[in-house]
Amino acid sequence: MHDRRFPASSLRLFASARSAGKTLSYGSHAYTVEETREEIFSELDLALFSAGADTSRRFGRLAAASGCVVVDNSSAFRMDGDVPLIVPEVNPDAARAHVGILANPNCSTAITLMGLYPLHRKFGLKRFFASTYQAVSGSGVEGMEELNNQILAWAGGGESAPATYPHPIAFNLIPHVDSFTPGGYTKEELKMLQESRKILGLPELAVSATCVRVPVMRAHSIAVNAEFEQPVDLEEARAAIRSFSGAELNDTPAENGYPTPLQYAGKFPCGVGRLRLDAAFPNGLALWIVGDQLLKGAALNAVQIAELLHQQGTLRIG
């Protein structure tokens, strides 16, 4: 919010009763954390929720009924029919239909669509396969600490037992993000299907995803193989990515130019590279997308949604 000069007249921080009274500082400002209570929302114009689906379900509808616009970063409302699911660069007009709550998509979905949407506009997306390489920060501080502890233990000749993950994450890959469903897909993988359909307005879009946790601290990567309605021209595809706000073409593989998590951790744009005609699909394109899931996959996208509402005139601040 500070970096983007968000037009807020005041900022208040809320959490559980356990955290109330703590002081958080940013720059020259110090903020005292307040307990989240039902009555506080009538005092607010905007609330950015990022405390998990249970908290969002408890307070989200109540906040909206109090006249406070909610931008929710959990899975609580994403598939509700009356809640727009928004990536501002992709479906800004859908935000106008909000009735007090707007949802942030899952981090992998948002990052994937930053590469796919400009191609969809150009060639017409038909279906895609996605394999994700998801950083441990997607699991919170516990995941980052577990990776760090296991690396340190290995370097000292010892071991550190897994707790956050079902297997060691250091020097390993775990094809298991979120819980498994009866069909064999995880909930994370089904989010890619369901949320992409809703955001793109393509209810019949075919999507198959495999989500993998990798020993990377920050920024998710996604390998995508997509089939389109129209024949794909590589230079037109590169031009579409290059001109799309929020995406950055990084596609000079002969010079080792392609996005990596270390490059894009802490960056606002998502990197797109390794563009090539797909060897399996007619009208197909293979590509590689990298984005900071704490930014475009979460905080940045939430602030962008609020900015969008302010620009559209549906959010009054101050």
Residues assigned a catalytic role: 107, 220
Whether 273 and 250 have beta carbons less than 8 Å apart is answered as: yes
Burial label for 140, CB within 10 Å (0-12, 13-18, 19+), is exposed
- Pairing type for strands 69-72 and 101-103 reads parallel
CA-based nearest residue to 11, from 22, 24, 21? 24
Take residue 144 and report the two structure tokens written for it.
């980052």
In whole angstroms, how far apart are CA 77 and each of 39, 81, 201? 21, 9, 17
Neighbours of 29 (CB within 10 A): 9
Q: Residue 288 has which token pair?
A: 């590689």
d(CA 101, CA 78): 10
Q: Which residues have a Cβ under 8 Å from the Cβ of 170 and sit 6 or more positions away? A: 147, 150, 151, 154, 160, 215
Instruction: Give the DSSP H or E segment for 130.
Output: strand 125-134
Helix segments in 83-203, DSSP class H: 107-123, 141-155, 187-200
Strand bridging mode 125-134 / 220-228: antiparallel
At residue 143, the 3 state secondary structure works out as helix
Mapping DSSP to helix (H, G, I), strand (E, B) and coil, where does residue 152 land?
Answer: helix
The pair of structure tokens assigned to 41 is 């929302």
